[in-house]
Amino acid sequence: MSNTLIYSSLMLVAGLGIPVMAALNGGLGARLQSTALAAAILFSIGLVLATAYLIATEGLPSSLFSTGAPPYLYFGGFFVVFYILSITWVAPRFGVSNAVSFVLLGQLLAMSVIDHFGLLGVQKYAFGTQRGIGLLLMALGVFMVLSKAPKV
């Protein structure tokens, strides 16, 4: 199986999990009446699972930090916390489809800028006409998916 198929399939499954996670954590936050507590529970479970995966696949690391890695590479967690707190709070109020649609639109815009300029050390992919049209079509699709129907 080619790497493209493996990577695409893995990311498709990860993408499928985002609205499920939003619905689950949004529901938990609403029931607990605490966005922060729901996020803390999610991260606690995530920490346990990620640590178990680390130990099972690589063993305990000898160091938590690499001397060669730029410090900004360690700040991805800030974006994860912002996303989890915001989706946990917004999804029950705005709807999972609406919340995730705007997340997707934000991802499309950010990925285009990051790739075009090669920001944060990633490989550059120029923003050309074809990519621009594709981005516009995807953005249009996001807006078309937004839920305007009355609740059933």
CA angle 122, 123, 128 (to 5 degrees): 120
Tokens coding 51: 């640590």
Cα distances (Å, whole numbers) of residue 83 to 32, 35, 65: 19, 12, 24
Check residue 142 and give its pLDDT.
81
Residue 151 is classified by DSSP as P
What integer best gives the mean pLDDT of the chain? 90
Q: What is the pTM of this model?
A: 0.81
Check residue 139 and give its pLDDT.
86
Residues sharing a CB contact under 8 Å with residue 126, sequence separation 6 or more, in sequence order: 116
Cβ atoms of residues 116 and 127 within 8 Å: yes
Q: Which residues of the chain have pLDDT under 50?
A: none
Q: What gap in Å lies between CA 83 and CA 22, rounded to an integer?
A: 10
Check residue 151 and give its pLDDT.
61
